[in-house]
Amino acid sequence: MALEVWQQALKESLTSVAQLADLFDFDAQPLAAVEDKYPLRITPYYLNLIEKVGDPIWKQCVPDLRELAADGLADPLGEDSLSPVPAVIHRYPDRAIFLVSGSCAGYCRFCTRKRKVGCPGMVMSFRDLRDGIDYIAATPGIRDVILSGGDPLVLPDAVLEDLLARVHQIPHVEIIRIGTRVPVTLPERISEHFCTMLKKFHPLYLNTHFNHPRELTESAAQACLRLADAGIVLGNQTVLLRGVNDQPQIISALFRGLLKMRVRPYYLHHMDLAQGTAHFRTSVETGLKIMASLRGHVSGLALPYYVIDLPGGRGKVPLLPQDVMKIGDSLAIRTASGDIVEYPDLPSE
């Protein structure tokens, strides 16, 4: 069967440091060990967004020697212990993550599942997928199923449609979410035809993953508009990355740009403790300062929750700048411009 345009693009992706070294004229040899450990894939579209070596696009997709540092945790969120069957992560009673794909259109160097994505052990077999669906069907508490991976959108339309249909017909599943970075790295995959197929599975939510304003291209905007026009509610999960987006002006430009593309910022993730990603970590203080700087200066719609995902499967916790300075009969509350205002409160009960 002929490949679709996006499948052809995926095939033409850059997958070795040697190819990259040819293009940008550097010595590939030192990075061979990184490439052996963690796969590399950069779509032609995303490669084109690189303007120069070391820029924010480069840092997200090009292997770095610091990935070999032996600190951090292999399974930072304790996900393996929350897997009743290989394709499901079930941490919260009403929601489950369904890992439907082991690969992605591009491999992000900061990925929390980098020990797995793109590696042979992550490939979900037909049997794993069937066990996943059986588990969800047999667990009436699950109202919200999040298709993730890897990236669900690298699956062929027919496979994805079949999985969506099977999940959609489970009576207790009320909503389906898709987590995907494809609008960022392979926007041509989001065709009109594809969006028409997705429409059958409403209520459908899709969270994508833009990290830098330079990723908000015309093609990416068109992909998001096609999804939004199909009635899919779009959210975005950004990861706070040192040297990529850890500055208030970058984050506010990103979040304002997303709203223009009809994508609502949902989470700003604090980098977790995944092994091989320490060089991307910022302090929590940096994240809180960025959140505080946004308040009062950007639309409330552009304000996501800043969340930290605690190790060992303890879950996500939103972190807020501390604005209640004093609690008691009267509160002292800090405004967006930094003034302290007294506010009468009810006596505690």
Ligand X SMILES: *Cc1c(COP(=O)(O)O)cnc(C)c1O
108 is known as an active-site residue: yes
Residue by residue, DSSP assigns 183-219 as HHH-GGGS-HHHHHHHGGG-SEEEEE---SGGG--HH
Map residue 166 onto helix, strand or coil. helix
DSSP string, 214-251: GG--HHHHHHHHHHHHTT-EEEEEEE--TTTT-SHHHH
| Contact criterion met (CB below 8 Å) for 219 and 188 | yes
CB 338 within 8 A of CB 115: no
316 belongs to the catalytic site: yes
Q: Which amino acid is at 325?
A: M
Instruction: Name the catalytic one among 41, 109, 113, 177.
Output: 113
Q: Which does 108 bind (CB under 5 to 8 A by kind): ligand X, ligand SF4, none?
A: ligand SF4
By CB under 6 A, what part of segment 126-165 binds ligand SF4?
150-151
User: Closest separation between CB of residue 344 and ligand SF4, Å?
Assistant: 47
Which spans of this chain sit near ligand X (rule: CB under 6 A)? 89, 91-92, 95, 97, 146, 316
Applying CB under 6 A, which part among 101-109, 153-161, 198-206, 277-285 lies near ligand SF4? 101-109
- H or E stretch at 136: helix 126-137
Question: At closest approach, how far in Å is the CB of 330 from ligand SF4?
Answer: 46
State the Cα–Cα distance between residues 312 and 315, nearest whole angstrom. Answer: 8
Distance CA 312, CA 303 (A): 28
Q: Is 119 a catalytic residue?
A: no
The conformation of residue 254, written as its DSSP 8-state character, comes to H
Q: Which is nearer to ligand X, 89 or 251 (CB)?
A: 89
Residue pair 185/156 in contact by the 8 Å Cβ criterion = no
Q: Least distance from C-beta 316 to ligand X, angstroms?
A: 5
Q: Out of ligand X, ligand SF4, none, which partner does residue 104 contact, by CB within 5 to 8 A per kind? A: ligand SF4
List 9, 14, 85, 108, residue binding ligand SF4 (CB under 6 A): 108
40 part of the interface to ligand SF4, by CB under 6 A? no
Q: Which two tokens stand for residue 263?
A: 């994508």
Q: Which is closer to ligand X, CB of 26 or CB of 92?
A: 92
* Binding at 47: pick from ligand SF4, ligand X, none (beta carbon under 5-8 Å per type): none
CB of 21 to ligand SF4, least distance (A): 22
Q: 345 an active-site residue?
A: no
Among all residues, which ones are annotated catalytic? Answer: 91-92, 95, 104, 108, 111, 113, 272, 309, 316
Give the binding site for ligand SF4 (CB under 6 A): 104, 107-108, 111, 113, 117, 150-151, 181
